[in-house]
């Protein structure tokens, strides 16, 4: 379990938060995949979209109810900023990264997908309840990676509680 979560290299910072692979099969769950999670592409990419109605908008973008290729309605979020913003210079030198909601939400959804898959295929996962340190939070997160799941039988994991059941993910129906 080397390295911190989201410790970006220059290459990571300039790569999009979307994987070139489609959302078919299990997600990649190496520790590096977990630290630098990327959203897999929708398998129906390029399919005709029927925009049904606008559901709402906010600071980050606009959400539509849509049907993709005669499927059930889904929610599609279109972000205002589609390109990563340039870092802002600081008065005393250096730069500050500017928040990019598209990246943040893509990584969160990718992580949820990895955790959900790991929990559905390995009910033996153990986590530290109510972690109070960064180190323990990262260890919990590591439990969902390939190596973390393989090391479940080690003495350091004995006596730890099971995570709560994974909640159902909401779907968009109106």
For residue 7, is pLDDT > 60? Answer: no
Which tokens go with 144?
Answer: 């969902």
Which among 81, 108, 99 is positioned nearest to 5, based on CA atoms? 108
Contacts 24+ apart (CB under 8 A), 108-113: 109/39, 110/17, 110/19, 110/27, 110/37, 110/38, 110/39, 110/40, 111/34, 111/37, 112/169, 113/27, 113/40
Span 145-167, pLDDT tens digits: 998 888 765 555 566 777 777 77
Question: How do residues 110-128 score in pLDDT, each as one tens digit?
Answer: 999 999 999 888 877 888 8
Q: What integer pLDDT is reported at residue 158 of this predicted model?
A: 64
Average pLDDT over residues 169-173: 48
For the residues 12-27, what does the mean pLDDT come to? 78
Query: Residue 57 contacts by C-beta under 8 Å, 6 or more apart in sequence?
Result: 63
pLDDT digits (tens, 9 = 90+) for 60-88: 999 999 999 888 898 999 999 888 888 99
Is the predicted pLDDT of residue 13 greater than 80, yes or no? no
Mean pLDDT of 42-57: 90
Question: Taking 90 as the threshold, does the pLDDT of residue 99 lie above it?
Answer: no
Q: What is the average per-residue pLDDT within 5-18?
A: 57
**Which of residues 173 and 157 earns the better pLDDT score?**
157
pTM value is: 0.74
- pLDDT for the residue 154: 55
CA 52 to chain centre: 27
Percent of the chain scoring above 70 in pLDDT: 83
Q: Read off the tokens for 160.
A: 């730890």
- Give the residue extent of every domain in the chain: 10-42+97-157
Residue 54, pLDDT > 90, answer yes
pLDDT confidence of residue 18:
84
């Amino acid at each position: 379990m080397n390295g911190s979560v989201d410790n970006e290299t220059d290459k990571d910072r300039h790569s999009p938060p979307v994987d070139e692979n489609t959302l078919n099969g299990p997600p990649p769950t190496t520790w590096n995949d977990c630290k630098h999670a990327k959203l897999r592409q929708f398998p129906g990419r390029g399919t005709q979209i029927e925009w049904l109605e606008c559901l709402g908008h906010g600071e980050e973008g606009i959400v539509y109810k849509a049907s993709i290729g005669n499927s059930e309605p889904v929610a599609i979020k279109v972000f205002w900023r589609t390109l990563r913003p340039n870092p802002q210079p600081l008065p005393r030198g250096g730069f500050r990264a500017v928040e990019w909601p598209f990246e943040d939400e893509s990584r969160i959804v990718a992580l949820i997908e990895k955790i959900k898959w790991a929990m559905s295929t390995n009910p033996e996962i153990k986590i530290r309840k109510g972690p109070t340190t960064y180190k323990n939070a990262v260890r919990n997160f590591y439990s969902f990676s390939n190596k973390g799941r393989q090391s479940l039988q080690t003495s350091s994991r004995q006596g730890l509680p099971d995570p709560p059941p994974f909640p159902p993910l909401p779907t968009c129906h109106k």
